[in-house]
Amino acid sequence: MDPLALIEDYLSDNENGMKTLITWFLNQVMLQEALQQAGAAQYERTDARKAHRNGYKDRSLKTRYGETILQKPQFREFPFETQVFGRYARVEKALVNAIVESYLQGVSTRRVQEIV
């Protein structure tokens, strides 16, 4: 997707535009991580290659802007590891931190629901 189109989408619809922008950015981060872990770009032939691509797997990530679906790369030789989210973690860390902080401050359950 064109970065300028993402900016226009953000300016026209702030909430949905931010969600689209986050999805695009995190997918780009995972592509760069895949490039580093594999040792070569897609379809590139080199002796430095450590792994071969094996498609993508859809993974959801809950953010404060709503649930996004990310394209997580896969390898044949070993599992792809990303810093975008930990293993089995599908919730943005800021959301978890808000819940924990509210609990520690003694905020009522109803107020925590409003915050989240």
Per-residue pLDDT of 7-35, as tens digits, reads 788 788 777 888 888 888 899 999 999 99
8 and 41 share a domain?
yes
Predicted pLDDT at 10: 77
Range of the domain at 99: 92-116
27 and 74 share a domain?
yes
23 and 39 share a domain?
yes
38 and 15 share a domain?
yes
32 and 52 share a domain?
yes
77 and 100 share a domain?
no
Predicted pLDDT at 89: 65
Tokens 């922008």, located at residue: 21
Predicted pLDDT at 11: 80
Give dist(CA 25, CA 17) in Å, integer: 12
- Total domains in the chain come to 2
63 and 113 share a domain?
no
Q: What are the C-alpha distances in Å from 111 to residues 99, 100, 103, 115?
A: 10, 13, 10, 6
pLDDT tens string 55-110? 999 999 888 788 899 999 999 999 998 888 776 666 666 666 676 677 677 776 66
19 and 55 share a domain?
yes
Instruction: Give this prediction's pTM.
Output: 0.71
